[in-house]
A and B are shown apart, each in its own frame.
Chain A
Amino acid sequence: MTEAGQATALHELTAGQAARLIRSGEVSPVELVEHLLRRAEAVDGQVQAWVKLDPERALATARAAEQLARDGIELPPLHGVPFGAKDIFDSAGLTTAASFRPYASRVPTVDAEAVARLKRSGAILLGKMVTTQFAHADPSVTRNPWDAARTPGGSSSGSAAGVAARLVPLALGSQTAGSILRPAAYNGVVGFKPSYGRVSKRGVFPLAWTLDHVGILARSVEDCGLFLAAAAGHDPADPASANQPLPQMEDASERDPAPPRLGLLHEALQHVAPQVRAHLLDVAARFEAAGARIEELTLGEPLDLILAVHHTIMQTEAAATHWQLLEQYPGSHQPRLRAYVEVGRLLPGVAYLHAQRLRRRIRASMRQTLGTVDALLLPTASDVAPTRETTGDPSLQAPFSLVGYPSLSLPSGLSETEQLPMAIQLVSGAWQEPRLLLTARWCEAQLPAMPAPAV
């Protein structure tokens, strides 16, 4: 089996590569699923990315997919490609527990809409991936495959670490503050959060409903586009789902997107470690030398205000989501989440509403900023992955969860001393995912390929 003339181990295939090889008959879906199940057995003890695999169903689906591939009919874009889902996404017939002990035996009868849409696009659900409890900030059991003493980030910790460790090419994640992009950065994979409302949240356990987004962890920008094409679209059964047509996606096989206009967010550099600042400026210079136009921009509102507005809204909504569960299952919430909910219940209603009104002002400022460029350019995280007592700092991801604009984290190299992944973040205006993905694909082509961690 080859992709672009090179022999490639099955677990190294991206979703797009696997889909093409399945379509051409060079790879069988059964072979791919069996390979990834064996790899889970060999490697996941070190990483702990999977909560639960679903081998029987995955193999049965793979056998059916193989038969369809042999029949020579037109196949859907992700035909036979395995994926994982963060364990807050409902999966029919498969436990969905959100790392919450009282839900250990909770087996949904219906798939979350995002899971269902990926399946309809031909993808095969391999299993459920570790989440921090209810997608909040208490660290999970998952290890960072680059260094077991470091956090994989959160809350989509299993999804990011699993994709990095080549346990699966694609994994669904969710983001309320920075829960897709930050783990992506810490694990050296691509993380993509579409616009708020672009992908249905039906069947996904909420944390803070006006901030929660569904997105993807992957190993290429192309795979983010495949995910978007499969999962996006209005869902009348999700009140947050937007009836917003997806603009024509650029041809995924296009090799040479034009150099973009990028807005370098200098104020973000005041909040990062010196090595991150130096790295981002180096990356920006590299992009400029390759033809990108780079201009300095600001968010239009102070970052501390943006984060305060995000905090007030998220904590109030998380308290509204969880306070009854806290009383129903005393002692079952982890310490950070319990304290967060308890304090959230005390916040004045007027503060929440004032924050929501300020949010509109912030969105308007950012819309103006983003109108002049293809994407903002800033670091994804304030430093490389910290140690495991925390899931990391959401300060540079949360602003774009607040405004609901699409954002993407792209691995951009390894730190000099610790050899840990570093990443850049790109952000475009609302509903501008095709522009964001095209820009990201250009940037990806200028950056060195990310090696696999040694697991």
Chain B
Amino acid sequence: MAPQSDNAARQAVLEELTRSALDTYGEERSGEARLQVALGAAATAVWRVSQETLEPLGPEPLPTHD
């Protein structure tokens, strides 16, 4: 089971995305099931990515090339 702080952090990301959806697409579209599912999946991904810390690395190479 995920710690409570993880759940709260993911919920905060979801709420932020949901507010953006409301502002951009309006209440009706934002409430549709398909969009809600996509918002939930994106919130989980963005939250999980944000949990990983990286030191500043200086010049950044292309992500797809060694």
Contact = CB atoms under 8 A, between A and B. Distances in A.
B24 A346 contact: yes
Interface residues of A, number: 38
Contacts of B38: 336, 339-340, 342-343
A358 interface: yes
B63 A360 contact: yes
B21 A342 contact: yes
Contacts of A358: 49, 52, 54
B64 interface: yes
A345 interface: yes
Contacts of A197: 64
Contacts of A357: 54, 57, 60, 63
Interface in A330-384: 335-336, 338-340, 342-348, 351, 354-361, 363, 367
Interface stretch (A117-125, A303-311, A417-425, A440-448): A303-311
B42 interface: yes
Contacts of A367: 66
A342 B20 contact: no
B19 to A, nearest CB: 9
Interface string B17-59: 1001100110001001011011101101111111010100100
A223 B65 CA distance: 28
Nearest to B63: A356
A335 B21 CA distance: 16
Contacts of B3: none
A357 B39 CA distance: 23
Contacts of B42: 311-312, 315, 343-344, 346-347
B26 to A, nearest CB: 11
B11 to A, nearest CB: 16
A231 to B, nearest CB: 19
A312 B21 contact: no
A404 interface: yes
B7 to A, nearest CB: 15
A312 B64 contact: no
Nearest to A242: B65
A347 B34 contact: no
A354 B49 contact: yes
A318 to B, nearest CB: 11
A196 interface: yes
Given A354-B50, A361-B54, A308 B45 contact: yes
Central interface residue in B42, B48, B64, B66, by most chain A CB within 10 Å: B64
A437 to B, nearest CB: 21
B45 A335 contact: no
Contacts of A339: 32, 34-35, 37-38
A379 B4 CA distance: 33
Interface of B: 17, 20-21, 24-25, 29, 32, 34-35, 37-39, 41-42, 44-50, 52, 54, 57, 60-61, 63-66
9 contacts: A308-B46, A311-B41, A312-B45, A343-B17, A351-B49, A354-B52, A357-B60, A358-B52, A361-B54
